[in-house]
Structure 1
Amino acid sequence: MADIKAADVMKLRKITGAGMMDCKKALAESNGDFDGAIEVLRKRGQKMAAKRADRESTEGAAIAVVNQDSTKGVSIVLGCETDFVGKNESFVALANQIAEIALSVSTKEELLAADFGGVSVADKLVEQTGVIGEKLEINAFSKVEAPFVGSYIHAGNKIATLVGLSGAADGAEVVAKDVAMQAAAMNPIALNEEGVDASVIEKEIEIAKDQLRAEGKPEAMLDNIAKGKIKRFFKDNTLVNQDFIKDGKQSVAQYVKTIGDIEVVAFTRVALG
């Protein structure tokens, strides 16, 4: 049997995150071969992943990161099975590492195929399934590119948002973060009226008309009254038209204008569950 050195056990643990005894066993199984031990742990992860494939990964960590020049941001949800694992520092660190990799890709599929220390992100997730003992997967992936991009992560990594502004004026960092916080708290369905799907508008109009009929309003008046209700729907549910949560006397769009001729051009919101 190969002589298993403590330094090799520590090195394997640092790379894989596996426990000391698991690393020692893997090295023993591979007769001290370091690469072989990594493969042992990977195969263990594959078996664990297969066993837990039907589990729900509704807990985890929502992460948003922005590149150095604040022109590109990405948000992901790394899902796991329990809140206990989702709050673990090493799990959150893994989610952040994957989010940083995500800055260089365009889709979730590209992210899963991207390199993570010599293996794909997909293989890394399988490996870590074996280490952690829970199903891990990328549950959400979104990206924003704009002249200025800001981000916000809600306490506990439950929600992560990105906001793109049309310019990088003085104060853009504060404004973008404020609007990103707004998106996290108020969960708008679209950026503006144009972003609301026609089917959603039609459904809201029908709901409004049904309510008005129940109130005894004449049929001839329904269309005009319903239009007013739709305007209110847009105000409540589209980001730029919502009342700004830090100052209800102005809309989000009006708040953004306080730093110049700037507009919100994009936003994304990802959350656990």
Structure 2
Amino acid sequence: MSFTTADVVKLRKVSGAGMMDCKNALAEAEGNFERALEIIREKGKLIANKRADRDAAEGVALSKVTEDGKFGALVVLNCETDFVAKNESFVAFAERILNAALENKVESLEALKAIELEGTAIEALVTEQTGVTGEKLELSYYKCLSDAAVVGYIHPGNKLATMVSFNKEVEAQVGKDVAMQVAAMSPLAVDESSIPQAEIDKELAFAKEKYRNEGKPEEMIEKIAMGSLNKWYKDVTLLNQIYVKDGKISIKDFLKQNDAELTVTAFDRYSLNA
């Protein structure tokens, strides 16, 4: 055969495929490195086509921010099994995608898929890695935030990731605590003003119907329902939620303890288990 062990190692490093797959590809290509790489990519496309209807419900959710702390990104790379999701190579591949998003400050999922890593578009690399893992892979979700400060959090296990943006620079632990609050309590919005009116109307109608069914006087229902709505705001809006590490004060008050003008401007949360 017109190739060496060093060629196999090089092909493995470039493609991420297993040693035997690389050896077989080089053998089929009669030692031609570029052709061997193409063979591995073609294998990935073939496997991807065969597994297109499979459910890729496992994977990793990762978030990270730029060195200046002003731009953050969250990506989700899916696979079929938890076995692959926990594989170091799979996680490293997802991290490469995330780093590319940060380096290019990508604004959308489609833009991220089009970015090239070592001359190949990320979307094509995902297909290529399908051949390496033998499972359907899918880059399914991407979100970015930018502001005076952005903080990311990845829950142990890589199944849940969050990002939070702030209007001012924030002390590292404070930012992390708020990002962990988002992970733990899954808020619907930053505050009541950022909840879609349709959601508010739906919740209010639900409360009124509930109290009517309980036999409350009609003239009291509006007032009681509004009280229920205010309680709902405290449950589903980040700034009004009780800070879980304290149990007494709201997130809004927690932030004010650190800086009177500090507040959250946006957040994102993704859980593979939800």
Normalising by structure 1, report the TM-score. Answer: 0.96
Letter of the 1:155 partner, please give it.
P
1:117 is aligned to: 118
After superposition, where does 1:93-132 map in structure 2 within 5 Å? 93-103=92-102, 104=104, 105-132=106-133
Superposition CA RMSD, Å = 1.0
Letter of the 1:268 partner, please give it.
D
**Runs of 4+ more than 3 Å apart:** none
| Unaligned 5+ runs, structure 2 | none
1:23 is aligned to: 22
1:46 is aligned to: 45
1:159 is aligned to: 160
Secondary structure of the corresponding residue to residue 189 of structure 2 = coil
- Does 1:233 find its partner at 2:232? yes
What's the CA shift for 1:4? 2.1
- Does 1:133 find its partner at 2:134? yes
Provide the aligned length of Structure 1 versus Structure 2: 270
- CA deviations on 1:212-247 (whole Å, 9 max, x unpaired) are 012110112111111111111110001111000101
Letter of the 2:267 partner, please give it.
F
2:201 is aligned to: 202
Secondary structure of the corresponding residue to residue 2 of structure 2 = coil
What's the CA shift for 1:188? 0.6
- Does 1:272 find its partner at 2:272? yes
Alpha-carbon distance in 2 for matches of 1:140, 1:228: 37
- Does 1:186 find its partner at 2:163? no
After superposition, where does 1:169-180 map in structure 2 within 5 Å? 169=170, 172-180=171-179
Preserved contact between residue 77 and residue 271 of structure 1 (Cα < 8 Å): no
Normalising by structure 2, report the TM-score. Answer: 0.96
1:142 is aligned to: 143
Alpha-carbon distance in 1 for matches of 2:172, 2:166: 10
Letter of the 2:218 partner, please give it.
E
Letter of the 2:130 partner, please give it.
T
Alpha-carbon distance in 1 for matches of 2:9, 2:138: 27
Alpha-carbon distance in 1 for matches of 2:270, 2:101: 15
Alpha-carbon distance in 2 for matches of 1:232, 1:138: 38
| Unaligned 5+ runs, structure 1 | none
- Does 1:254 find its partner at 2:253? yes
